[in-house]
Amino acid sequence: MVKSHSISSQNVVLLHPKSIGVKKGLDIIFEDDHIVVVNKYAGMLTIPDRYSPDKANLHQLLSKKFEEIFVVHRLDKETSGILLFAKSASAHKQFSSLFSERQIKKFYLTVVDGQPYEDTATIDKPIAPTPNHKDRMRIDKRGKESITKYQVLQRFKDFSLLEVEILTGRTHQIRVHLESEGIPLAADPLYSRRQALFAADIKGRKFKGKANKEIRPLISRSILHAWRLEFEHPITKENVKVEASIPKDIRAVISQLEKWNLPN
């Protein structure tokens, strides 16, 4: 079971994943005079699409609400979870510097196929684009430095629940690194053997489908959630932890795993 994190110091401000407001796809979980933190839905773009600028995206939605808004970092379209935006050019510069200097800790939640050898590990492998495949990345010694840490939160018979921290921010970093270790995301259209995860994948022989009834997947996207950010606010100087509640599709997967896929 995924447990909430405790506050170890009185000067740590834990911003709980309780939305300030959800309207037309905009889920703001924290806001102060300098930043806005949003829980992005899977399938929502961070910025306008290059070829289809009219598609809904968080920058567009926030621009309608705030006088100025600046993108500090991004998530893949299918990844859910925390995104931080700045309200001014000054705040944008300071938070962008924190990200580039690795002063903001970024934690993700995922379910992978199989069992990691160790409960905690660091993956240090350079990543580069795959030739003749613009949408796919790969491990390449000529690529950019890429460092990922993971911790096993729960082991199941055929799967594992991981908390993943990225020390660099390369495209598809978590997906590429975990696949390279033989523990790909349990569902991922690019780096896994499954595009979606079904109850039958978890239950195995215990699964009994109903005749003439459409079988829907538990999750039909890359099973990856940007779970938590930790940083010292460069303006208020408070130590902050921000968490984004686990989305319904990933909670459904974890629930089924705990019910049907526990180790013998």
Which of the residues are catalytic? 76
The structure tokens listed for 256 are: 């089924």
* Helical H segments across 66-161, by residue range: 89-100
The structure tokens listed for 236 are: 């208020």
Instruction: Report d(CA 26, CA 41) in Å as an integer.
Output: 9
- C-alpha distances in angstroms, 23 versus 19, 20, 58, 78, 206? 11, 10, 12, 20, 41
* Helical H segments across 110-247, by residue range: 173-180, 199-203
**Are the CB atoms for 137 and 172 separated by under 8 Å?**
yes
